[in-house]
Amino acid sequence: MRASRTIISAILTFSGTVFGQSTPRPVPCTVRPASASQQEQIFNTFVEEFYVKSDLFDAFTHVVSDYIQHNPNILDGNAATFDVLSARLSTSTPQILHLAFSAPYGWVHHKDGNSTAIVDVYRFNGTCIQEHWDVIQTVPANSTNPHPLF
Ligand SMILES: *[C@@H]1O[C@H](CO)[C@@H](O)[C@H](O)[C@H]1NC(C)=O
Ligand SMILES: *[C@@H]1O[C@H](CO)[C@@H](O)[C@H](O)[C@H]1NC(C)=O
Ligand SMILES: *[C@@H]1O[C@H](CO)[C@@H](O)[C@H](O)[C@H]1NC(C)=O
């Protein structure tokens, strides 16, 4: 009886409400020591899950619960970012333009739709993603330079 109530409350803890539906949340990453090459492998897995497969759930198992978020429109924490992105992601799949990793930082330069360029920067802490910054640029109506933004 006591055990089953604990399980139910654990399930409730990892769920949020998006558009009135209960969406399960991923279990956040637990920080363990990792070498630079292990971090790079985890980063590549995260990029594949997040940007290629749009598998937000698996991607956010690599993110700590106390995620430091520098995007001004999203609060700190794995759950806050997961909730915002899971409400958004279905609209478009990003196209990766450049990708780099230099421990503990990983960068993804990508194209969102045809009008927005984004650079996401992530910082690792051991096996987990701890912090995120992004820089977002929209194609201007009239460009001085005829080269495309992408
Ligand atoms: C981007 O432009 C291409 C080529 O014009 C078009 O086929 C595609 O549907 C556009 N994608 C979006 C998300 O608007
Ligand atoms: C890494 O994670 C541990 C455990 O949450 C935390 O105590 C530590 O401050 C973090 N270090 C960095 C550099 O983020
Ligand atoms: C872009 O250029 C056109 C034609 O010169 C002009 O009508 C329009 O106002 C410009 N748009 C912006 C956002 O500057």
| Digit-coded pLDDT (tens) for 106-142 | 999 999 888 899 999 999 999 999 999 999 999 888 9
Strands 63-69 and 128-138, by their bridges, are parallel
Q: What is the pLDDT of residues 28-49, one digit of tens each?
A: 999 999 999 999 999 999 999 9
Instruction: State which ligand 1 atom lies nearest to the alpha carbon of 114.
Output: 1
| CA 125/CA 31 separation, integer angstroms | 7
Instruction: State which ligand 2 atom lies nearest to the alpha carbon of 131.
Output: 14
Residue 76, token pair as written in the block: 């700190």
Average pLDDT over residues 90-115: 91
Residues 34 and 126 sit within 8 Å (Cβ to Cβ): yes
Q: Which fold has domain 22-138?
A: Nuclear Transport Factor 2; Chain: A, (3.10.450)
Residue 24 CA, ligand 2 centroid: distance in Å: 26
Instruction: State which ligand 2 atom lies nearest to the alpha carbon of 66.
Output: 5
| Ligand 3 pocket residues where CB is under 6 Å | 141-142
DSSP letter at 139 equals P
What is the per-residue pLDDT for 102?
98
| Ligand 2 pocket residues where CB is under 6 Å | 31, 125, 130
Extents of the domains making up the chain: 22-138
Q: Residue 82: CB partners within 8 Å, gap ≥ 6? A: 16, 25, 26, 56, 60, 63
Residue 145 CA, ligand 3 centroid: distance in Å: 15
